[in-house]
A and B are shown apart, each in its own frame.
Chain A
């Protein structure tokens, strides 16, 4: 039994002249919430479709919950829930009927499963409404309900917060968090809402032009979120000496003194006073925090 819920080895997909996915090695552990980020056309959806056996890799292989995916649609699908791209449903059928179809196709014997998931996803007022009349947000809820109906061990979600209002975004985040925490569900999700991914994910992968260009684990994410005090001065050496003699530790990055000391960050006025008294007043003194969005944009728009 693999220790990974998702494992790809040199996963590659070529459409004509386009290498949509180029040699991706993914390892998503059991119980992880993995945020999969990328610009439009970076290869996120192609990767997700390959994970679900919807497209055949041009090279490499995919294992999900320890089982090889494909050919002929083979995979551990009774244990996997998915939501791919925009949610869709049979428009002339009601929400309940759409979920009833899913219940039977997933082989769930308990007929109450449909009502339970309707309640869980706050779809009760719309249960007997035709799915074609739902708003985008409620269609998304229906898609999520379908993905969660069989209480899967692994959820593969493409833009799960798409179309939801701010309250809905928070609600879905809490729902996914509780699934991961209480049931140990592994969640692999792509999203454009980076703040949501930042709050939810325990690990993040960034895909750019078909390649997985960076992975950040919990520690690295914490470091990314950490505040720091940046100091610049005309007499950099004198400033460093005065900070050292005052007992502060720092790093020098590109002519900028960077302090991680919580006291320095909280009391930057003390630092300013110290430098002024030392005869090397700061030309710039700022508390900085790189968020995931800045980091992502820096990586993906550098070229």
Chain B
């Protein structure tokens, strides 16, 4: 712990002083705002007609303006938007050391590389959980302002855990992003990976094998194509866990063993 806390302090300072995590958090807040906008449009058909195309799309996306639909859409937005936004933050936390050429200053220190990687992982985890919680709270406020019908405290709690579980599973899949940011020595490779993982998760889910593909699991869990019990099994969650462990081990291995030439 002697050297872990300084590493955590350093990573927290870097994350709080940079605009990237802040802008990513603000970007993520758009999810409940858009969700609320759709609810508002559906609750006000007259206004919806005046808005034309947007109204048509909103009607296609959801049929009933109630809290159940609102939370479901929020959870789906976190599952799909989370892959991009969480990847941006993970890519930044790990990849910046190579883009800014500061990685070489972290290699020969009394603070071990293990502590530095662990501190980075914790900062990403804390950011993801804080932003997910923030997004949920913004959702509650917006839902209240739009005055959506069908509120129950039980539904709110159930949705809270759904949002958290969706964010948590997406977070678990960030360890390969951390590895690719480290190995690729920058931002672009992990962001390319994020786009590819979304692409393949959609295709594989569409052909019915999503429960076997870890990157499809968070979106399927959020109910994007129907009730999760019909889509996922225990094996799906185990696979997410394994993908995360592989990414975690690979990231630590890389920082401890790979030649640092940049």
Contact = CB atoms under 8 A, between A and B. Distances in A.
Interface stretch (B6-14, B63-71, B149-157, B159-167): B6-14
A101 B105 CA distance: 11
A77 B113 contact: no
Interface in A223-252: none
Contacts of B110: 77-78, 105-107
A245 to B, nearest CB: 64
Nearest to A77: B108
Given A55-B259, A55-B261, A104 B113 contact: no
B107 A97 contact: no
Interface stretch (B46-54, B96-104, B224-232): B96-104
B234 interface: no
A53 interface: yes
A54 B2 contact: no
A90 B257 contact: no
B18 A92 contact: yes
Main secondary structure of the interface of A (DSSP, over half): loop
A172 interface: no
B198 to A, nearest CB: 29
A52 B107 contact: yes
Interface stretch (A79-87, A113-121, A160-168, A206-214): A79-87
B257 A71 contact: yes
A75 B9 CA distance: 23
Interface residues of A, number: 32
Contacts of A73: 107-108, 112-113, 256
Given A52-B107, A72-B113, A91-B100, A105 B7 contact: yes
A107 B100 contact: no
Contacts of B113: 72-73
Contact of B256 (A72, A92, A106): A72
Given A73-B113, A93-B14, A107-B2, A53 B259 contact: no
Interface of B: 2-3, 6-7, 9-10, 13-14, 17-19, 100-102, 104-114, 256-257, 259-261
A84 B107 CA distance: 11
A173 interface: no
A56 B100 contact: no
26 contacts: A49-B260, A53-B107, A54-B104, A54-B108, A56-B257, A71-B256, A71-B257, A72-B113, A73-B256, A75-B108, A77-B108, A82-B108, A84-B104, A86-B101, A88-B100, A88-B104, A90-B14, A93-B17, A100-B13, A104-B9, A105-B3, A105-B111, A106-B111, A107-B2, A107-B3, A146-B105
A82 B105 CA distance: 8
A4 B260 CA distance: 25
B101 A55 contact: no
A88 B105 contact: yes
Contacts of B105: 84, 88, 102, 146
A89 interface: yes
A82 B17 CA distance: 26
